[in-house]
Amino acid sequence: MEEIRSRVKNVWMPNSIDRLPDEMLIAIVSRLPMKDAVRTSILAHKWRYFWVFSSVLHFDGFHIFWNSKYSNASLDSQRITFGNLVDSVLQLHTGSTIEGFRIRYQLDSTNSNDIDRWVKFAFTKRVTKLELHLLPFLEYVSDMAYVFPNICDPIERLRIFPTGLSSCESLVALRLSCVNVTGEVLEFFISNCPLLEELCVEDSISTTSLITSCPSMRLRHLKIHNCPFLSALEISSPNLLSHLEIADCPLLRSFEICSRNLLTFTFRGREVSMTLKNVSSLINLWLVADVPEALAHNLVQISRCLSRLENLWVHISTLEVRHPLPKFPNLPRLKKLWLNVKAYGYDSLLCLAPLIDAAPMLREIALKVTWRSNIGFPKEIKDTTEGQKHEYLEVLEIICFTGSVTEVEFAQYVIEHAVSLKKVVIFFNRPLARGEKKAIARKAVRLLESKLSEGVELIAR
């Protein structure tokens, strides 16, 4: 018994972690924020230089300066301090390769020499995941943003890749935010990085086009957000691209994607001409539209790709219907529908009833209404008896419920047409914690409860 107690005590001794192999300790240190990783050098003599072998180098200026003696310094002073810190760490780093390299701070073109040097270091170490999140001081995309080196030019390429193209052959993920990067540079990475699986570009005014067809590429995740001058997008990845996000590219009027393994597609923007070729495996779809007409228009365009769709997220900026809606395409396998809409006081959600009717296998609906103006309580509820019955719809969830006619009308429609309904879950809007508005919301819940068939559970929180 004493021997067992001794063993247990030894396992939980404070210095028991020192018994782990050095490789494992280095792996642990690599997962710490850089500021904390450097601090491990004072734990013990053995730990003094573990951090210089770290395979993950993440420099987060907000973490570094938070609650420090530099927190009240000017941005220029903080940038100098941040640059010195990064340089000092990189000079001492002795690992031959790095798994991840991340810079996250408010840097721009005035810091180009420093950032170029850090990018060169990362590729010299055959980086696997490279991330530049150069958060802007201003809230909009700026021509003051750091410009990624034009590695299409042989001289620039030699400057950033001193050991040749082998420097980027290990790259698996490239994430650029608030970095002005051209489409040609992105195409270069796609064509010359055989292991590249993830490419994310956000807030770039230099990305005007991205046209690539590379049969051998392994790209699986492509994300393009807030590139205001992007006007041409063509990607052909017949076997590999599985996750695609396109958002807030106002000049983009058309795009073409060819990928038979595309599983998840997100699009936020105006009506555009969408061409999805050989897309037969789409399961998850996010669509953000200004008006219901744009939503229906975009769904109709990709109707041939929706035969296996199981989850649909819909975000609509306004419920105003200015023109007759086109017929929604059939969604034969849709199981869950999320509706996130912005409404004025007396808008009606019944314009989306045809979307629900297009999904005969639908099992769950989630609704959230965000109000653009005063909530419309007094309006008379429309007749909700017309429409097709749903045999598989079991759950209705309403988030931020206010008891408005818009919400009650929609909920009543679902209750009357879901013949197998089992549960209605309502989450109250927190600002309605007390007073007259809370009483209205409670009264609306009681009204809906009176409409429920026997055995249907209503949960209000």
Residue 418 per-residue DSSP state: B
> What mean pLDDT, rounded, does the chain reach?
83
Rounded CA-CA distance 225/228 in Å is: 9
Rounded CA-CA distance 171/288 in Å is 32
C-beta of residue 33 within 8 angstroms of C-beta of residue 58: yes
Segments forming the whole domain that contains residue 386:
287-461
Torsions phi, psi for 229 (to 5 deg)? -110, 10
Residue 307 has pLDDT above 60, yes or no: yes
Q: Place 321 in a pLDDT band, splitting at 50, 70 and 90.
A: confident
> pLDDT tens across 380-417, in order?
556 555 678 899 999 999 998 988 888 998 999 999 99
For the chain, how long is the longest CA-to-CA vector?
84
Quote the distance between the C-alpha of residue 355 and its chain's center: 25
Cross-strand bridge partners of residue 232? 209
Q: Tell me how long the chain is.
A: 461
**Predicted pLDDT of residue 12:** 38
- The fraction of the chain above a pLDDT of 70, given in percent, is 80
- Whether 253 maps to a domain, the answer reads no
Q: Does 316 have pLDDT greater than 60?
A: yes
Query: Of 305 and 142, which is predicted with more confidence?
Result: 305
Q: What are 203-236's pLDDT values in tens digits?
A: 999 999 999 887 767 889 999 999 999 999 998 8
Q: Which pLDDT score is estimated for 360?
A: 94
Question: Nearest CA to 166 among 192, 190, 187?
Answer: 192
What's the pLDDT score for residue 260? 85
Q: Higher confidence at residue 2 or residue 432?
A: 432
Answer yes or no: is pLDDT of 259 > 70. yes
Give the model's pLDDT for residue 9: 40
Q: Is pLDDT of 157 > 80?
A: yes
Whether 415 is covered by a domain: the verdict is yes
Sort residue 70 into left (φ over 0), alpha (ψ -120 to 50) or beta. Answer: alpha
Report d(CA 285, CA 282) in Å as an integer: 7
Which of 318, 230, 241 lies closest to 278, judged by CA?
241
Q: Cα(116)–Cα(161) distance, rounded to whole angstroms?
A: 11
Collapse the DSSP code of 369 into the 3-class scheme (helix H, G, I; strand E, B; otherwise coil) and give the result. Answer: strand
pLDDT of residue 319: 81
User: Looking at the 3D structure of the chain, how many domains does it have?
Assistant: 1
Residue 396 within a domain: yes
Task: Return the amino acid letter for 438.
Answer: K
- Where is average pLDDT lowest: 246-250, 335-339, 354-358, 372-376? 372-376
Asked if the model's pLDDT at residue 334 lies above 90, the reply is yes
Cα–Cα distance for residue pair 225/49, rounded to 1 Å: 40
The CA distance from 22 to 422, in Å, is 56
- The pLDDT score that the predictor gives to residue 384 is 58
Does the residue 170 lie in any domain? no
User: 35 pLDDT band (50/70/90 cuts)?
Assistant: low
Beta bridge partners of 460: 426
pLDDT at 238: 72
Higher pLDDT, 341 or 34: 341
Strand-pairing partners, residue 275, are: 256
- The answer to the question of residue 332 being in a domain is yes
Rounded to the nearest 5 degrees, what angle is found at the Cα of 105, between the Cα atoms of 100 and 99?
A: 5
- H or E element, residue 458: strand 457-460
User: What's the rounded mean pLDDT across residues 156-173?
Assistant: 91
The CA distance from 297 to 22, in Å, is 59
State the pLDDT at residue 311.
97
Per-residue pLDDT tens over the stretch 37-83: 555 554 544 454 455 557 788 888 887 776 555 555 688 888 888 89
Domain-embedded: residue 135: no
Instruction: Classify residue 240: in a domain, yes or no.
Output: no
Residue 153 in domain: no
HSE, side-chain direction, 13 A CA sphere, residue 28: 11
DSSP letter, residue 390: B
Residue 163 DSSP one-character state = T
pLDDT of residue 140: 54
What is the spatial distance between Cα 106 and Cα 76, in angstroms, rounded to a whole number?
10
Confidence category of residue 11, pLDDT binned at 50, 70, 90: very low
State the DSSP H helix or E strand holding residue 29, giving kind and residue range, or none if neither: helix 22-30
| pTM as predicted | 0.82
Helices (H) and strands (E) counted in the chain, each on its own, are: 12, 21
Q: In this structure, which amino acid lies at residue 60?
A: D
Q: Which whole number is the average pLDDT over 356-372? A: 92
Confidence of residue 241 (pLDDT cuts 50, 70, 90): confident
pLDDT tens profile 111-143: 999 999 999 999 999 999 999 999 865 555 567
**98 and 142 in contact (C-beta within 8 Å)?**
no
Residue 429 is predicted with a pLDDT of: 79
Predicted confidence at residue 68, as pLDDT, reads: 55
Q: Write out pLDDT tens, residues 436-461.
A: 778 888 888 999 999 999 999 999 98
Distance, first Cα to last Cα, the chain: 53
